[in-house]
Structures are given as C-alpha cells and as structure tokens.
C-alpha cells in the first residue's frame, strides 16, 4: 500500500522535541532582565510553539518596540543555554527515520528561527532525516506558521517533491491554522503542549509516535 501522504512537514517544539524547559527558563531570564514580573509556569508554557514576538505582544502586552527589546535579550541567551535544554520525545526519532527510509520528502516547519532549529536537530543526530529545514527567518520577519508552511512548500517543490498530498504534523492551534491557510491538513499529536480545544480542524489526533508512524506509512 502506498503511503497516505506524499510529503510531510513536521513542527519542532512539542512535536519532535520537548523544548519547554529551555524556552521557559530563557523567558524567565528575559522578564527578569526587563524588570517585569515573571509569569507563572502555566503562562510560560503557553509561549512554547507560537512565534515568540507574537507572544510577547499578545501575552505580555508589549508594544512592537518592547517586544523587539525582549527578543534581543531572549535570543542570545536561548542560543547559548536554552536551545539544548531539551529532549527528543521518546519514539519520535524512530518515526523520522522510518519516514526518511521510506523516501517520503520531509521538511521541518517551525516558528522557531532556523539557526536554533538546526542546532537542536544536529545535536540529536536528526538533521539528516530532513530534506528541507524551514523555520522562522532569524530576523523573525517570517515567523507566522502560515508563512513558514508556505516557504516549506516552496523549498520542497524546488527539490522535486510530490506535493499532491502533503500533511503537517504539529501540536498547537497555530499549526492547524497555519497549515489550513495553505490548504494542507494537520495531524495533531497528543504528546505536545496543545490542549483539547486546539485540536479543532485537525484530520486526526494521535496519542503515540507508534500510531503516528502507522498513519504516515500505512
């Protein structure tokens, strides 16, 4: 039986890696450096996944200028310390390797900038499982999930990938919405950071990496 999908886009945070410890600790450092109250653990966790500039504005109520100043504190600290304070979710590496071995074109599609995304994947020996690495631009000009997905499709097309039946694998509402903006369905993984009401619009909700592998490879 042929695989159900001809190309696959994978989110990173909450889908491939549990990156919350490094992100939340860097956020706490950033708020401290700004002289702002540090949000509680649950609020900090809500920052994981969406574009960080959007979260500074929408969750912390920062202006564009304040968000840019916060990012200037956050980014170097995260690259230096936070990025590798993460772990690959058990079983997910096996899924990536199986998909790669099956010859299905794969792109990363993350709202994290490409520099730390590459750093993380390289650290865990997973960079070679991807045909294309797509994330936010390092200047955050491209950061919305819809824009990242669109760019991933452009880059996959340039490799000659079959885009007749693409799918995005993610764990947050912005994954579902960003994929839908490009006419792509989303498989929602249940081990990430999303809550139940974020699953709306996904074509499937998957509880384990083993179940994901079965769905992707048939």
Model pLDDT for residues 145-181, shown as the tens digit of each residue: 999 999 999 999 999 999 999 999 999 999 999 999 9
Rg (CA), the chain: 17
In this prediction, residue 2 has a pLDDT band, given cuts at 50, 70 and 90, of low
DSSP tag of 215:
H
C-alpha 50/C-alpha 129 separation (Å) is 24
Q: How far is CA 128 from each of CA 71, 106, 121, rounded to the nearest angstrom?
A: 29, 10, 9
20-82: CATH topology is DNA polymerase; domain 1 (1.10.150)
Q: How far is CA 50 from each of CA 100, 129, 134, 205, rounded to the nearest angstrom?
A: 26, 24, 15, 19
What is the mean predicted confidence (pLDDT) over 107-120? 94
Give the DSSP H or E segment for 168: strand 166-170
What residues does CATH 1.10.150.240 cover in the chain? 20-82
3-state secondary structure of 142: coil
The model's pLDDT over 45-100, given as tens digits with 9 standing for 90+, comes to 999 888 888 899 999 999 999 999 999 999 999 999 999 999 999 999 999 999 99
**β pairing state of 17-18 and 87-88:** antiparallel
Q: What is the DSSP string of 99-129?
A: HHHTT--EEEEEEEEHHHHHHHHHHTT-GGG
7-18+86-217: CATH topology is Rossmann fold (3.40.50)
Specify the residue for token string 């990025």.
Answer: 83
C-alpha 6/C-alpha 176 separation (Å) is 19
User: 10 Å Cβ neighbour count for 139?
Assistant: 9
In this prediction, residue 29 has a pLDDT band, given cuts at 50, 70 and 90, of very high
pLDDT at 1: 58
pLDDT at 139: 72
CA 177 to chain centroid: 13
Question: Which residues are CB-neighbours of 141 under 8 A, at least 6 positions away?
Answer: none
> For residue 140, which of 78, 60, 61 has the smallest C-alpha distance?
78
């Amino acid at each position: 039986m042929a695989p159900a999908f001809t190309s696959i886009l994978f989110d990173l945070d909450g889908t491939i890696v549990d990156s919350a410890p490094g992100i939340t600790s860097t956020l706490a450092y950033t708020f401290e450096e700004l002289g702002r109250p540090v949000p509680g653990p649950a609020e900090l966790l809500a920052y994981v996944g969406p574009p960080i500039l959007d979260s500074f504005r929408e969750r912390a109520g920062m202006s564009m200028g304040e968000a840019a100043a916060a990012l200037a504190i956050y980014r170097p600290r995260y690259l230096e310390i936070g990025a590798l304070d993460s772990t690959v979710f058990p079983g997910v590496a096996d899924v990536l390797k199986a998909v790669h071995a099956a010859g299905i074109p794969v792109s990363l599609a993350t709202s994290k900038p490409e520099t730390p995304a590459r750093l993380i994947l390289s650290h865990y020996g997973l960079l070679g499982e991807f045909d294309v690495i797509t994330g936010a631009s390092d200047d955050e000009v491209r950061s919305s999930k819809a824009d990242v997905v669109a760019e991933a499709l452009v880059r996959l097309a340039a490799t000659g990938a079959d885009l007749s039946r693409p799918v995005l694998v993610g764990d947050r509402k912005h994954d579902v919405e960003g994929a839908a903006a490009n006419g792509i369905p989303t498989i929602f993984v249940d081990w990430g950071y999303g809550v139940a009401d974020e699953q709306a619009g996904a074509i499937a909700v998957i509880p384990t990496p083993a179940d994901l592998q079965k769905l992707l490879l048939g």
